[in-house]
Amino acid sequence: YERMLFNVGGPYIGVVLNYEEKVDRTSSLNLIKGNLSGKLFKTGKPSVGVIGAGLFGKALLLPALKSLKNIELKTLSTSSSANVYHTAKKYGFFNCTTNYKEILEDKKINSVVILTPHSTHEKMIIEALKAGKHIFIEKPLCLSKEELNNISFMKEKYPHLYLMVGYNRRYSLHSRKIKDYLKERKDPLTLLYRVNAGFVPASHRVHSEGEG
Angle between helices 121-130 and 145-157 in degrees, nearest 10: 10
Phi, psi (rounded to 5 degrees) for 182: -100, 5
38 — pLDDT class (breaks 50, 70, 90): very low
pLDDT for the residue 210: 79
Alpha carbon separation from 108 to 42, 132, 183 (Å, rounded) = 12, 11, 43
Tally Cβ neighbours within 10 Å of residue 211: 14
- 151-195 pLDDT, tens per residue? 999 999 999 999 999 988 888 898 899 889 999 999 998 888 887
Report d(CA 26, CA 30) in Å as an integer.
11
CB 75 within 8 A of CB 106: yes
Closest CA to 91 of 124, 53, 128, 56: 53
**172 contact partners, CB below 8 Å, separation of at least 6:** none
The predicted model scores a pTM of 0.76
Is residue 105 over pLDDT 90? yes
Give the distance, in angstroms, between the CA of residue 55 and the centroid of all CA atoms in the same chain: 10
| Helix, strand, coil % over all residues of the chain, rounded to 5 | 40, 15, 45
Residue type, 62: L
- 108-142 pLDDT, tens per residue? 999 999 999 999 999 999 999 999 999 999 999 99
Report d(CA 96, CA 27) in Å as an integer.
8
Percent of the chain with pLDDT over 70: 92
Report d(CA 97, CA 47) in Å as an integer.
16
